[in-house]
Structure formats: structure tokens, C-alpha cells
A and B are shown apart, each in its own frame.
Chain A
Amino acid sequence: MSHTHIRNFCIIAHIDHGKSTLADRMLQGTGAMDDRNRREQTLDDMELERERGITIKASAVSVEHVYNGQNYELNFIDTPGHVDFHYEVSRALAACEGAILVVDATQGVEAQTVANLYKAVDADLELIPVINKIDLPSAQPEDRALQVEQILGLDAADCIFTSAKTGQGVVELLDAICERFSEPKGNPEAKTQALIFDAKYDDYRGVVVYFRLINGRLKKGDRIRMMRIGRTYHVTELGKFRPKMTAMSEPMEAGDVGYMVAAIKTLDDVNIGDTITLDTDPASEALPGYQEPMPMVYCDFYPSGDTEFDELREAVARLHINDASYTYEPTSSEALGSGFRCGFLGMLHMDIIQERLERESNVSLVQTAPTVTYEIELRGRVDDLPGSVAGSGTGKHKTIQITNPADLPDPSTILHINEPIVEAEIITPTSSIGDIMKLCEQRRGIYKSQKFLSDDRQILEYDLPLAEIIYDFFDKLKSITSGYGTVDYQLKGFKTDNLVRMDILVNGSKVDALSVIVHRDKAEFRGRLLLKKLKEQIDRHLFEIPLQAAIGGKIIARETIKSVGKNVTAKCYGGDVSRKRKLLEKQKKGKERMKRIGTVDIPQKAFMAVLDTSE
């Protein structure tokens, strides 16, 4: 097919605005998928994606569409909308000439709509705004189109109104793609350069690389070279997504989007953003790549129940083959034994990884409360510090980074503790603005600006500590705005604050997995709340259990779990035996799922109590 008839584009939107459903409907519209084979959200492959109704990984499809009597090839890339997966979006954008910006007709422009739009504009993409879900009774399509004009600066007249549910407007959208987006740039005669925008692991074929051919040609049998890492591979399969991967024998050329299989064993051998060229006739330089995704939050996974450390190691490594955006390294805790310290793009990413580990590898694990990376500036020169990750010298003081509160060095050696600060953009109904500002201030935010989006919506910009965001910011924002507020953020840098480590003692012994780094002014409050939550989580034992929160040696809060006064089955006769035995077995099972620390059984949930902020 002539490249004048190829369109490469992606779909970007705020989470839950209907991208994946719209993509499915477009597949139907083009006849790539008949109704019989239709499964909700075809592009969301993962069981978890379909269950949660979210897209986690970018995913690509090629289909044909007839416009003005001519055949067009449409390659589209579905992207995640959640803030955690921004990097997936920017990867997808680099492979396209156009972007469809989906806005929910009931909810209007949200924080990620704005963030994704900026990314698309930065990437120099053409845009088609789409107002989706117009079938809903509460839809306000014209109003939302006006919002698109006012807030995003796109012409309201350009908006296409669709209902992914009923199919209304989908053909118009496909026509608009053919009409408004330009043909792929790039020169088929130039030296081969293909951009890797995603990769996934397949049990049978190894790594499947998703690429956009920017210049030159590629065919099955070619010997290729990954320019950044310098390795060469032999292409054994080359194909397109229609909508499932379909192998092709003819060569692909500049402008095509496709996948390749080349006997690549692990995802670690593939760098997203790397450039593929021909080993025999290489391009002189690589395409501008992406930045590596940066883990923003960290937590530990420890085996629990029947799961052994080795099983967990295998599960963590196996999942990493599929999702290279999380990091893991072995760690150990006095309380919980051996486990892994893992880094994630955000809280949702963390939840998903934890759930996928449990679901796909059938391991049972204890997850500790998430924390961020801290930069610790030390007094004088210290060359050998326990528990530190890669240290770096800044000026005259040595700086180390820690991701685990338990790794914090002796307070007397610490000059400053710096924490990550993000630039946050909060879109909120005007009616909630006062409460949101109060929330940001409580969360140690620094006010930057306030912009009006429309009569009833505003954008607030704050610099906020990331630790506060992962603590409870999302929940609070949602509850203050009845679900209408949204936030997007990106890392700005590190900043010093009065931070201390708060330790938790259960029955007199420190449980390192419960230690948190908190602002000194909030330590008492957090300590009391945390102990209250722990008290709810830990069952009464046969003895009294003191719970204490301490900074250094100083106890700042305490609670007591009373002992079991009485727990004995009053009646147990003929008809009761089975039922009572099953109750005992249940009681026993409940205990087995707990971690015994000293003489106290602590349920897994308790390690997340640190995060539970309901008062």
C-alpha cells in the first residue's frame, strides 16, 4: 500500500474516558473484528486490564478502512490514561503522526486529558478531539466541545461526537483520520531506522518487539542491530496487528507499524526507545529515544503463608520479563525475612504488580507500605554506609539515596533528608477549591498558580511532596470533590524538610517493616493514627500487647491490645462437631496467613495500615 494511504495515530485520554472501548468499536467499524468474535476491550489483553477496565500497557492494531473509495491502512496505538503510565504514552506518541484526544461527554476535560495533550503537542502531532459517551443521559456534548476549545485551545468545530457503546460517529471518526492526519513521514530509501515503542514477552516466541519503521525497510531474514546496546539478531517473523499479530512475508517500509520476533530471550535485552537498524547497512545515528521510566514509589514484597522465598524470586523475575518498568532487588527485614524491594511508576502500578504476582504466579505475599526515594546528605565524608544504594557526591557532603526507611543511617550522621517534590496539576470543580487548597497546605504543598478552565472548573498548581501524594492525596481529593477532581504530576526535584524516621514497636520489639519517614510536625498525629489502625488489625492474643511509636528512643504514641478474656465454645454436641471443627480450622487458617513476629501474629493487612488514613 502506498504510504499516502497509511495513517499512524494513537488514542490518548484521561483514565476511564472510553479509549479502549472506542478502539474496539473502530475495529468493528473497519470490519477487522466481527461481532461474533468481539470480546469487550480487545486491546486490553491482560485479564487484569479487562477486569479493572483500565489499560496498563500500550497496544497496537492495524486495520483497513475505505474512505472516498480508496483503501487506507490505519495503525493505531491504544495508550494507558493513568498518571502512573505517562511514559507509555510518550513512547506511543513518538511512533505516530496524529493523536485522537478522547474526552468523556459527561465528565469533560480532566487532568490527564491536559497532560496528555501537552505531550502530544510537544511531539508535534496533529489532533482530533473526540467527545465520547454521547449516548449517556448526562452527556453534554456541546458544552464539552466548548471546553475543549476554551481549555485545550482546539477548535470546537473540529470535535467529533461518538458513542463507543452504540457505534455512533465512529465512521465519521475513521473518515476524519484519513482526511486530517498526514501520511507517515520518513524515507523508505534511507538507511533503516525503526523505533521500538513497546515489547512484550511471549512464552513461545520470546520477546515480541513493537516498532515503528521511521526510515528504510525491514524484512524477514534481515540481520538487525539494536543501536544502543549493539546486539544483533536475526528476524524470524515480521508482521502487523490486524487486530491480532499477523505475520507478513513482504518487506515493511518507512511509515509501517508492526512487530518482530528475533529470538530475543528476555525483555532486559530490549530497550524501549532504542533504534533498530540493519547490521549490514547500519544508519549512522540512532533516533532520539525516550527516557528510562523512573520508579517513583517503592515497597517490599515478602513471601507469606506457604510461599517460599525462591518461589517469590521466580515470580518476580517472570513478571519482570513482561513488565520491565518495575525494578526489584533482594532485601531482608528482621521482621519479615528475605524478600524484594521493588520500585514502581506509581501506586496503581504497584497495586497491579502485586495483584499480577499473586494471580499469575499464585504466590502469597506481604506487601509493606510504599515509600518514596529519599536523598540523605551526610555530615562529613562517609565512604562506607550500610544499606545505601548507589551513593553520589554533591559538593562537600556525601549523599546517599534510600528507598526503605529502615535503611536510614544513624540520625547523628545526617545533615539533611531531602524528599522528592512533584509539580501537581489539579483540576477541580470551583465549589471544592477552598477545600483542595486546604488539603494541599496540610500536605505541605506550595501554591504555584490558579487558572480558570470554565465557569465551574479550575486548575490548581502546587508543588507537593511525593510522599504526601502516595499517602492519601488521591483518596482525599476524590472525596472532597465527590470524584470530580483529578490530578496529574511529574517529578520536579528533591527538597530538604524536617523529616524523621518513626519506628513501631509491637510488644516491645521494633518491627522494621513498619518504620516510616514522616515530617516531624506530623509524627505524633501519624503515630497515633497508625497505632490505632494496627490495633484494629492485630487480633487479641492470650496476653496484652503494647504498641508504641518512637522517634529515636522517644516514645511519641502508645496503644494497648487487650488480651483475649475468654474464647471458648460453650456448647459442642453431636450435631455441632463438624461445624465447630470447621470454625477452628478457619481460626487456624486465619493465623497461618499472618506473620509471627516474636510472639505476636501480625496479619498482612497490618503492614499496609501505615497507609490507612481514615480517621
Chain B
Amino acid sequence: MPYQPIPLTNMPPDGHATSPTNPAAQSHAGAGAGAGVTINADTSAETSDPLATKTAVDSLYIHVPFCFHKCHYCDFYSIVDTQQRQARFADALICELTQLADQYLLQPTTIFAGGGTPTLLEPIHWQRFLRVAQTLGILNRIHEFTVEANPETVTDELAHILATGGVNRISIGAQSFNPTLLKTLERWHEPANVQRSMTRLRNAGINNINLDLIFGIPGQTLDNLADDIDRALALQPTHLSCYSLTFEPKTALTARRDRGEIQPIDTGIDRDMYAYLLDRLDDAGYDHYEISAWSKRPPPHPPTHSPTLYPHATPAHVTSPTLPLAATCVLDTNNTRPPIDYRCQHNLAYWRNQNWLGIGPGAASHINNQRWKNLPHLARYIDTSPTPARIDHEHLTHAEQQSELLMMGLRLRDGIAIEPAQFPTHTQQEIQRYITVKMLEYHHNRLRFTREGLFVADCILADLIPS
């Protein structure tokens, strides 16, 4: 499909859309994942007064609710849209973004577009959105911009538009390579299209690619899982997310289970599968950095004679479809950068309880201990643009903040640097108790789960959290 830029009528004309690489992005890139909350000196210097009082946002989430079919395990807000509301949705999304850019210091270091199926949004709308984001300066400090993709929907055209628009990471919902198991999940895609999609993305210059896999699917065996992992590893993703199948309330899958149509796998097998993943992916060169996330391990000793690399928005004009992975990363010339980090920076922001804004129907936000969600309703979202109705607003109490710190932070294999004294006596005692039974440990002065503790993290967390 041919595409051409169609600026939104009320947007300022786009002055420099062809040059996504900009000085600000380069100068901030090295700040790393943890630098979200404070406004970088450069930025504050150039925005001395009104902006300085605005809340800085570390991360931006974009919810694209369209799906061509609702997978049976999915509990995210999504709709199979037959009304061709894409253009109006994109308009509303752009308006919401514009509005928030005015309200907040919206120069996030990470962006994540999830869904639904973001890649179902037509390329022309993606292009409009990305150009506006560029114009608003939202991409200025970006380290990582991920878009979720369904293997069936990645076209050369879309890959190109995303890559040139600043997207530098794609997360593909592979789930499984076994057609029978995909059928159980009611996941409609051709396993072979995972590889085709990856080739198209790499051709367009996006090499930082995650594969989502689901294990513990009813009927799945350990051999099936090993087979899925073989096939996933053969595709050389930079990141793997392996999720134990969860029967979320109000999903078709849960209803089928409750009707007795499908039988959840035995927790013993589920445990074996997770144990298998821990060992197998470690052997394959992936670091387990969060309960369900593995990132490709950086080379142990980066050669000093060659520049260290880090993933970054790849300017379209320097992209060659055949370049090896390293060459698609932006060169770091002063050689003081940290080594390549393929961990999902956006998700790290969640797990570190940083500030993020969500746009689109059903998207959640977390700013300075306030949480809220946009009403998950596309029609209302369009009608109320640019200020969609917000629901589930909560202001976190101190105890809730502490609970979230533990709940989210302990998901990370690095754990959290905590001062036990900051927690209630009960929490301190429980921490000590679980250290004694070797479910928790201090590792480099950070509290974390032991391997044994990982399997039963929720049981332990329920004991740890303050009442």
C-alpha cells in the first residue's frame, strides 16, 4: 500500500521529519535506564522556567486496541473492529499525546506500543503518529521504542515506516511454534511467519527483537517446550519473554477450563518447565533478569579497540538489510558507555516503579504514586478526545508503595537495594524467615529471590507485604 504523510490539520507543520537522530537523543543516551525521574541538566537548561515545574515522564505506553481475533488467554482491552475506526482512533491518540505533551515534561526514554495488535494499525496512521511524536519532541531522549507485533501483520512497508519513525525494538507474539498448542490458545498465526517477520524487520534495520513464548499450555509436554525453545533460539532474538500460561478472569480460556473443556497442566509439570527454561536459556547465552524475561548476554569483555555498542533508534539512511546485528547499533565514540543491554528498558521502568503515562483506551498510567487508567472503550475514547475518561484512580498509601516496591522490584533477578529498617517489623521478620529457609538472599547487597524462591514468589510476597 502506498503511504504518504498526512499531517493532522491542527498540528504544526513538520519541519525536520527526515532526521530522527538528533543531538538531544545522543547526549542523553548514555544515561541508562535508571535516569528517568530527574530531568537531565541539558534539558532543564534549555527549558528554564515553565517546563521545569512540569512532572517528568520516564516512559510512555501506547495502547492500540485493534485485533483481528481475540486470543483466548488475552485479558487486555481489545476489539475486533469492523467499523473502520482506525483513522479516528489515530486522530484521538495523536490528540491525547499532544495534550499530555503540553501538561507533562514528556520526553520519555522508553516507549512501548502494545495492544491489541499495534501492527494492525495501518502504516499510514503509524506514520502520522510517529511524525507528530517527532514534532512534539517526544522522541528526543528515546533509548528504546518497542512495538508489539503479530507475526501475520509485519509487512515490509510497516517495518520501514516504524524503523524510520524511531521504533528500534519489536516484540513478536510467537507464543508457540506448535500448531496444535496455538489452536488451544486460539492464537491465529502461521508459525513460519515469525521468521518471515524477523527477516523483514531486520531488513528494515530493526534488529532488537523479542519473542514472546507461552508455556504450560494445556496438552503441552516438556518435549513440546524444548522444541519451541529450539525454534525460538534458532531465530536469534535479542530477548525472550516466556510466560507461564495464566488463566485470567473473564477470558475465553478460563471459561473453557471452568466448563471442563480443557485441563490445566499439572503444577509439577509447570514447575519442571520453568526449571527447564532457567537452565536451557542460561546455557544458550541469555541472562534471566526478570521472572519471565531473558536478554541476550553481552560479550564478556568488550574488545577495547572497537567501540562499545548500545541499541538505539537506527536512522533509516544508514540501514543496510544485510548488516550484522552490531552494525545496526549506533556507534558510541567516546567509549565510556555501558555494554550492550538488551533488557527491555521500558519494562524495567515498570518494575522500578518509575513514572509513565499511558495513552489509548484502557492504557494505565503511574505518576508520582498516582495510578489511573483510561476507560477501556474505543467509541468513548474517540468521542471524548483529547481528554478520555479516567477510571480506577488511586493514590498509593505508604504501605501500598512498599508493597509495590517489593512486588515489582523482587521480580528482577538483581533484586532491590533496600534498607530493611524502612519496612514494618512484620516484613523484616518475614524477610529473615525466608532468608533462613533459603528462599530469599542478599546478593551484592541487594535482596532477591533464590532460584528456589522464584518458583513460589507470590506465596513469599504475600507474606512480605505490609498490611
Report the bound CA distance from A572 to B465 in whole Å.
Answer: 16
A588 touching B463 in the complex, CB below 8 Å, given contacts A542-B439, A566-B274:
yes
A570 touching B291 in the complex, CB below 8 Å, given contacts A575-B363, A575-B373, A577-B404:
yes
A570 touching B458 in the complex, CB below 8 Å, given contacts A577-B408, A578-B371:
no
A575 touches B76 (CB 8 A): yes
A565 touches B268 (CB 8 A): yes
Q: Which residues of B contact A573 (CB under 8 A)?
A: 347, 350
Tell me the nearest residue of chain A to B347, going by C-beta: A573
Tell me the nearest residue of chain B to A564, going by C-beta: B456
Q: Which residues of A contact B245 (CB under 8 A)?
A: 570
**Shortest Cβ gap from A592 to chain B (Å):** 7
> Number of contact residues on B: which range applies?
35 or more
In A535-594, the 8 Å CB interface with B consists of: 542, 564-575, 577-578, 580-581, 584-585, 587-588, 591-592
B392 touches A567 (CB 8 A): no
B362 touches A575 (CB 8 A): yes
B463 touches A566 (CB 8 A): no
| Best-surrounded residue of B268, B394, B456 (most CB of chain A within 10 A) | B456
A581 touches B400 (CB 8 A): yes
Count A-B pairs with CB separation below 8 Å: 105
> Number of contact residues on A: which range applies?
20 to 34
B244 touches A591 (CB 8 A): no
Report the bound CA distance from A542 to B270 in whole Å.
Answer: 16
B364 at interface by CB-CB < 8 Å: yes
In B276-298, the 8 Å CB interface with A consists of: 291-292
User: Which one of B243, B267, B366, B394 contacts A570 once the chains associate, using CB atoms below 8 Å?
Assistant: B243
B291 touches A569 (CB 8 A): yes
Q: Which residues of B contact A565 (CB under 8 A)?
A: 266-268, 270-271, 455
Q: Which residues of A contact B407 (CB under 8 A)?
A: 572, 577, 580-581, 584
User: Which one of B61, B76, B392, B403 contacts A585 once the chains associate, using CB atoms below 8 Å?
Assistant: B403
| Best-surrounded residue of A565, A568, A592 (most CB of chain B within 10 A) | A568
B462 at interface by CB-CB < 8 Å: yes
**Shortest Cβ gap from B305 to chain A (Å):** 40
A566 touches B291 (CB 8 A): no
B131 at interface by CB-CB < 8 Å: no
Report the bound CA distance from A577 to B462 in whole Å.
Answer: 14
**Shortest Cβ gap from A96 to chain B (Å):** 56
In B289-344, the 8 Å CB interface with A consists of: 291-292
**Shortest Cβ gap from A564 to chain B (Å):** 5
B411 at interface by CB-CB < 8 Å: yes
Q: Which residues of A contact B271 (CB under 8 A)?
A: 565-566
Q: Which residues of B contact A575 (CB under 8 A)?
A: 61, 76, 358, 362-364, 373
Tell me the nearest residue of chain A to B365, going by C-beta: A574
Q: Which residues of A contact B411 (CB under 8 A)?
A: 572
Q: Which residues of B contact A574 (CB under 8 A)?
A: 61, 350, 356, 358, 363-366
Report the bound CA distance from A592 to B426 in whole Å.
Answer: 12
A568 touches B455 (CB 8 A): yes
A566 touching B243 in the complex, CB below 8 Å, given contacts A571-B292, A572-B411, A575-B358:
no
In B348-379, the 8 Å CB interface with A consists of: 350-351, 356, 358, 362-366, 371, 373
Report the bound CA distance from A580 to B249 in whole Å.
Answer: 12
**Shortest Cβ gap from B350 to chain A (Å):** 5
User: Which one of B76, B364, B439, B461 contacts A577 once the chains associate, using CB atoms below 8 Å?
Assistant: B364
Q: Which residues of A contact B373 (CB under 8 A)?
A: 575
**Shortest Cβ gap from A36 to chain B (Å):** 43
User: 27 A-B Cβ contacts within 8 A?
Assistant: A565-B267, A565-B270, A566-B244, A566-B267, A566-B271, A566-B274, A568-B455, A569-B246, A570-B243, A570-B244, A570-B245, A571-B292, A572-B407, A574-B61, A574-B350, A574-B366, A575-B76, A575-B373, A577-B350, A577-B371, A577-B408, A581-B407, A584-B458, A587-B458, A588-B463, A591-B462, A591-B463
Chain A: residues with CB nearer than 8 A to chain B?
542, 564-575, 577-578, 580-581, 584-585, 587-588, 591-592
